[in-house]
Amino acid sequence: RHRRRHVSSCVCLGGGRGGGDGGGGGGDGGGEQDLPPEEEAVVLGLCGAFAWILPLGGLVMTGPVGAMLDNAPVWCSVLCLSVAAVVHSALVLFPGNVWQMAGFLIFAYYRAALFGTAATMVSFTFGQENFGKLWGLLYLGAGLLNLCIFPLADLAKYLGSFEEINMGFCSMSVVILAYPFWLWRCDRAAAAADPNAPFFIKSKVEYWERTLHETNVEEIRMDMRRALARV
């Protein structure tokens, strides 16, 4: 049971066949090579399922994610994304194929929503003229954080399980839940000050329809800056 929990967690980190073959876990992939044949079959089955669920689930979720980003306040999308992170982090704590498959489905939605929500937040918060620089910085930071995979895999090998590491990720996800609620409070405060100015509250479709009818670009930028100042 303890070994199965270790194996399932390795699959969620995306290390190919436990990390050894795909280069995701480094070294011997956390010591999974000595698994009994029946447990190795479970690992291969989970990896195969993940390889199908991730792209197909992302394709299916494209429509709902796009509809929410177009027609709901940004904080709604951020809240759904944060809740999905908590649920996925909790599911990987439980051994068993059913829990792991459920975690794969949640992760498929999370991956589809992550990039669209992040791009929307950056562009609508800091302006289109700053999008390229900030998006590049986000990718740089994400790439640097990915280097943590190697010491985490070594730590899991030392501990004999990913359980403690997954509990840490779950705790961080719960803390991050405060962010969408902070955005919601900002929306309410901005709406009380001026319901027409803050673009956080208005749907993105309505906002862009309004901006397309504006002729003074500088006035639009000042309007956005005033809304951000109130937040």
Rounded Cα distance, 163 and 30, in Å:
13
State yes or no: pLDDT of 146 exceeds 80. Answer: yes
Residue 203 in this model has a pLDDT that exceeds 80: no
53-109 confidence digits (pLDDT tens):
888 888 888 888 888 888 888 888 899 999 999 999 899 888 888 898 999 999 999
The kind and range of the H/E element at 67 are helix 37-71
Q: At 223, which amino acid appears?
A: D
| pLDDT at position 13 over 50 | no
How many residues can be counted in the chain? Answer: 231
Which residue carries 């009380």 as its tokens? 192
Burial label, 82 (beta-carbon count in 10 A; 0-12, 13-18, 19+): buried
* Residue 69 to residue 194: CA distance in whole angstroms: 22
12-to-149, 156, 161 alpha-carbon distances in Å:
12, 13, 13
Q: 9 falls in which pLDDT band (50, 70, 90)?
A: very low
Q: Do residues 11 and 100 touch, judged by C-beta distance below 8 A?
A: yes
Residues with Cβ within 8 Å of 52's Cβ and at least 6 positions away in sequence, in order, are: none
- What's the CA gap between 172 and 162, in Å, rounded? 15
What type of residue sits at position 70? D
* pTM score: 0.66
Give me the pLDDT at residue 23, please.
37
- Residues 34-62 have pLDDT tens digits of 668 777 888 888 888 888 988 888 888 88
192-to-56, 77, 140, 172, 228 alpha-carbon distances in Å:
42, 22, 37, 32, 14
The tokens describing 190, both together, are 């901005």
